[in-house]
Amino acid sequence: MLNSLSGRFLILTTVFVMFAEVLIFVPSIARFREDYLLARLERAQIASLALLADDMLESALEAELLENAEVFNVVLRRDEVRQLVLSSPMPRSISTTFDLRGVGPAMLISDAMTRLFTPENQIIRVIGAPVRKAGLLIEVTMETAPLRMAMIDYGLRILLLSAVISVFTALLLFAAVRRFLVRPIKVVVGYMKRYAAAPEDARGIIQPSAGIRELREAEEALQQLQIELTQALKQKERLAQLGSAVAKISHDLRNILTSAQLFTDRIETSEDPTVRRLAPKLVNSITRAVSLCESTLAFGRAEEPPPTLTMFPLADVVLDVIESERLAAPDNQVILTGDIPSQLMIRSDPEQLFRVILNLVRNARQAIVASGAPGTITVGASEDSAAWWVTVEDTGPGLPARAQEHLFAPFQGGTRRGGSGLGLAISAELVRGHGGTLELGHTGTDGTRFEICLPKGDGTI
């Protein structure tokens, strides 16, 4: 219990309340001593009135008056005349004198603490002002033992009361802390344990319910973290399943495409001009597909192989992309053009760059076809001293808001029904492998533009 949060609060509250009571006890005991001495002065003044009323008091009556006032002598100054009103023999000489007229709190506290911790019974002189202005001053002599015993008795009662108050306050705070702080924290801990045991179970995600603002903020932050982690785990699981499936498919597809390559030799011998013109494109497409399948099997399902950099004319790659997509585009609905300087040489992996541009062009073509309106796709390029720039721009309907939020995230950035969103994710990964960037330059109702930046760097080919 002492190691728990509520137990620590119980101990600390008891200690702090006792400390506060000690701070109250010191001035209280000083005030008690002052009241005690003032009471003795008042009693002595009342006793002296009897002598003023009758000058001839019997010695027994005078002794009784002094005993009742608990003093040895009473001196009263009236009209500048100092008069010993009552007196009796003193057992010891006077040790010190205390003047209660105009004394400050610091002095009262100091005198009270000194008296409390001085066990010796002393004779002291106490001077004060008479009540109701019945003279200029009054002074008495008295023993300190009764004063000290009264102070000890008063102090013990104060300390006992302080202990009761501190324990009662601590118990109330203990109950309040358990109700309003410890219990909600235990609920949060319980949610965390359940989520850790089964992170894929959505029932383990915390539902914020705390009434305390700070705890509710912590619950909301934990809820957001759990939701994001659950989504990430599900996405990784889907990627792992997809990777396993892709590896299996790539293995069999490679065998099928290898067989298809054997038939392209006969197609090339055809006398049909159209077949002879399209045959090289078919050969290139099958060769790229076989190479992609082999890369998937060689380098695993999660990472792309590093690019093989070489200098080549960018226009050739762009022309292959445009001619491949023209075959799939409906007549007269999508116009594909290339605006590439014929002499522009670029350092990149030609196969990977082909895949990047093909993904961007294909996405643009599919968006235009889905809109039902005609459109244009233009692939452009330029260079400066630091980098090569390739742009793919279309006049399509633009990207929806959801696709923009998760543009390069697998399975989240798809823009059409049935799309996986893998195309942009793969393209971005391939460009990063070149040390470059793939960014969305613009999107809206007037079209979309993607920008590829490939740094030139300091190396040479």
Rg of the Cα atoms in the chain: 50
Q: Which residues pair with 444 in a beta bridge?
A: 447
CA 304-349-318 angle, 5° bins: 115
Looking at the predicted structure, is the pLDDT value of residue 296 above 60?
A: no
Looking at the predicted structure, is the pLDDT value of residue 426 above 60?
A: yes
How far apart CA 14 and CA 3 sit, in angstroms, is: 16
Strands 123-128 and 137-143: antiparallel
Q: Which two tokens stand for residue 453?
A: 């930046």
Strands 123-128 and 94-99: parallel
What's the rounded mean pLDDT across residues 340-353?
A: 92
Q: Could you give the C-alpha distances from 74 to 49, 84, 411, in angstroms and in order?
A: 11, 6, 103
What's the rounded mean pLDDT across residues 307-328?
A: 87
How far apart CA 438 and CA 425 sit, in angstroms, is: 10
Q: Are 27 and 109 in contact (CB under 8 A)?
A: yes
Looking at the predicted structure, is the pLDDT value of residue 348 above 90?
A: yes
Q: Supply the mean pLDDT for the chain.
A: 78
How far apart CA 236 and CA 5 sit, in angstroms, is: 39
| Highest mean pLDDT pick, 58-62, 292-296, 413-417 | 58-62
| Highest mean pLDDT pick, 194-198, 239-243, 310-314 | 310-314
How far apart CA 281 and CA 284 sit, in angstroms, is: 5
pLDDT tens-digit readout, 82-91: 666 667 788 8
Query: Which pTM does this prediction carry?
Result: 0.44
| Beta strand spans in 115-259 (E) | 123-128, 137-143
How far apart CA 363 and CA 132 sit, in angstroms, is: 105
Percent of the chain with pLDDT over 90: 17
How far apart CA 191 and CA 182 sit, in angstroms, is: 14
Number of Cβ within a 10 Å radius of residue 424: 25
Amino acid 86 reads: L
How far apart CA 34 and CA 151 sit, in angstroms, is: 11
Calculate helix-pair angle for 350-371, 273-299, nearest 10 degrees.
110
Residue located via tokens 């006077």: 94
Q: Could you give the C-alpha distances from 108 to 113, 157, 244, in angstroms and in order?
A: 9, 20, 88
How far apart CA 255 and CA 293 sit, in angstroms, is: 10
Q: Which two tokens stand for residue 62?
A: 């005078």
How far apart CA 365 and CA 390 sit, in angstroms, is: 18
Which of the two residues, 429 and 183, has the higher pLDDT score? 429
Task: Read off the DSSP letter of residue 306.
Answer: P
How far apart CA 253 and CA 246 sit, in angstroms, is: 10
Strands 310-313 and 334-339: unpaired
Cα 165 from chain centroid?
37
pLDDT category of residue 459 using cuts at 50, 70 and 90: very low
Looking at the predicted structure, is the pLDDT value of residue 382 above 90?
A: yes
pLDDT category of residue 406 using cuts at 50, 70 and 90: confident
How far apart CA 55 and CA 75 sit, in angstroms, is: 15
**Which string of DSSP letters, residue by residue, matches 37-54?**
HHHHHHHHHHHHHHHHH-
Question: Domain limits of the chain?
Answer: 5-169, 307-455
Calculate helix-pair angle for 145-177, 105-116, nearest 10 degrees.
100
Looking at the predicted structure, is the pLDDT value of residue 16 above 90?
A: no
Number of Cβ within a 10 Å radius of residue 231: 11
Number of Cβ within a 10 Å radius of residue 253: 16
Q: Is 368 exposed, middle or buried (0-12, 13-18, 19+ CB in 10 A)?
A: buried
Q: In what order do the strands lie in the sheet with 447-455?
A: 334-339, 375-383, 387-394, 447-455, 437-444
Looking at the predicted structure, is the pLDDT value of residue 311 above 90?
A: yes
How far apart CA 18 and CA 315 sit, in angstroms, is: 87
Q: Are 85 and 146 in contact (CB under 8 A)?
A: no
Q: Which of 36, 99, 102 is nearest to 71 (CA)?
A: 36
| pLDDT for position 392 | 96
Q: Could you give the C-alpha distances from 241 to 201, 227, 246, 424, in angstroms and in order?
A: 19, 21, 9, 20
| pLDDT for position 425 | 82
Return the CATH fold of 307-455: Heat Shock Protein 90 (3.30.565)
